[in-house]
């Protein structure tokens, strides 16, 4: 059980495309707020005006992708701004920060798939994230084909972004990359199957959150 003084709790959600992270973050926020616990819901890349600008630059699916190192530096530039102006201030206020993707996405997308060396990612993480590491990371795991179908359905007639337009093989490696990370960090990362209905996934997440955090009504709001 994590009991925190004035610092809030930092929870990140990770996984492939179409896993339902955004929906589950919304549902968790509703549950926490029902206990008068304040939440800061955010996402990466983005979450602050400066980082959202960088997001537009990176995810533009209309032009050829940037090389993996340039992309990584842009993700970390966005993250530095997001930490300084969004995440750390919310943690200082004692809130729950629920973040849709964080540095584990860089590890998998740019590290495993983009072949950016682990030492480069370690150095950037030390510089930018420092001690603002997630208290808990939830990976929503979904079979690749189903995730790609869900992402396509959600997108409708919109253009696929930089990563949504990648192949089945890319998304399969992505899934394995996240599962490998979970095996490497069993204390911090839990894997939840995202195949069943939204309410059951919400319930499973809630059980894990209740086990790990002190949820006494209004204590940290
Ligand atoms: P999303 O908001 O739909 O999850 O889109 C963000 C995309 O950016 C998603 O395809 C994953 C990708 N991404 C990276 O490649 N590296 C990162 O560090 C982050 C945060 C996201």
Residue 163 CA, ligand 1 centroid: distance in Å: 8
Which pLDDT belongs to residue 65? 87
Could you tell me if residue 199 is inside a domain? yes
Q: CB neighbours (10 Å) of residue 157?
A: 4
| Ligand 1 pocket member 75 (CB < 6 A) | yes
| Ligand 1 pocket member 55 (CB < 6 A) | no
Which pLDDT belongs to residue 165? 83
At residue 133, the 3 state secondary structure works out as coil
Q: For a substitution probing ligand 1, which of 13, 19, 45, 48 has the most ligand atoms within 8 Å of its CB?
A: 45
Q: For a substitution probing ligand 1, which of 109, 134, 150 has the most ligand atoms within 8 Å of its CB?
A: 109
Residue 78 belongs to what domain range? Answer: 9-220
For residues 47-71, one letter each, b for 16 or more C-beta atoms within 10 angstroms of the residue's C-beta and e for the rest, the string is bbebbeebbeebeeeeeeebebeeb
Q: 161: which DSSP letter?
A: -
Could you tell me if residue 24 is inside a domain? yes
For the chain, give the longest Cα–Cα distance: 49
Question: Atom 19, ligand 1: which residue's CA is nearest?
Answer: 105
Could you tell me if residue 206 is inside a domain? yes
Which pLDDT belongs to residue 6? 65
| CATH code, 59 | 3.40.50.300
Could you tell me if residue 3 is inside a domain? no
Which pLDDT belongs to residue 113? 93
Could you tell me if residue 2 is inside a domain? no
Q: CB neighbours (10 Å) of residue 33?
A: 13
Residue 65 CA, ligand 1 centroid: distance in Å: 13
Which pLDDT belongs to residue 166? 87
| Ligand 1 pocket member 178 (CB < 6 A) | no
| Ligand 1 pocket member 45 (CB < 6 A) | yes
Could you tell me if residue 1 is inside a domain? no
Q: Walk along the chain (221 residues) and give the pLDDT tens digit of each residue.
A: 544 446 999 999 999 888 999 999 999 999 999 999 999 999 999 999 999 999 999 998 788 889 999 999 999 999 999 999 999 999 999 999 999 999 999 999 999 999 999 999 999 999 999 999 999 999 999 999 999 999 999 888 898 888 888 899 999 999 999 999 999 999 999 999 999 999 999 999 999 999 999 888 766 54
Q: pTM of this prediction?
A: 0.94
| Ligand 1 pocket member 137 (CB < 6 A) | no
Which pLDDT belongs to residue 194? 96
| Ligand 1 pocket member 101 (CB < 6 A) | yes
The structural domain count of the chain equals: 1
In order, the DSSP letters of 17-67 are TTS-HHHHHHHHHHHHHHTT--EEEEESS-SSHHHHHHHHHHH-TTSPPPP
Could you tell me if residue 150 is inside a domain? yes
| Assigned token pair, 150 | 């869900």
| Ligand 1 pocket member 18 (CB < 6 A) | no
Could you tell me if residue 4 is inside a domain? no
């Amino acid at each position: 059980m994590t009991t925190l003084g004035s610092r809030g709790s930092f929870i990140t959600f990770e996984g492939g495309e179409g896993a339902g992270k955004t929906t589950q973050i919304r549902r968790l926020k509703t549950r926490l707020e029902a206990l008068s616990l304040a939440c800061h819901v955010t996402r990466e890349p983005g979450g602050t005006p400066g980082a959202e600008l960088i997001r537009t630059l990176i995810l533009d699916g209309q032009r050829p992708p940037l090389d993996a190192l340039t992309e990584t530096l842009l993700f970390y530039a966005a993250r530095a701004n997001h930490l300084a102006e969004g995440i750390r201030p919310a943690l200082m206020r004692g809130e729950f920060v629920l973040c849709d993707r964080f540095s584990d996405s860089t590890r998998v997308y740019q590290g495993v798939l983009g072949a950016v060396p682990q030492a480069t990612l370690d150095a950037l993480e030390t510089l930018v994230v420092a001690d603002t590491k997630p208290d808990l990371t939830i990976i929503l795991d979904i079979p690749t084909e189903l995730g790609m179908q869900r992402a396509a359905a959600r997108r409708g007639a919109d253009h696929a972004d930089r990563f949504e337009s990648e192949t089945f093989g890319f998304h399969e490696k992505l899934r394995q990359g996240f599962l490998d990370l979970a095996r490497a960090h069993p204390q911090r990362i839990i894997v939840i199957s995202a195949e069943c209905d939204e309410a059951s996934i919400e319930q499973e997440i809630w059980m894990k959150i209740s086990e790990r955090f002190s949820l006494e009504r209004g204590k940290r709001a």
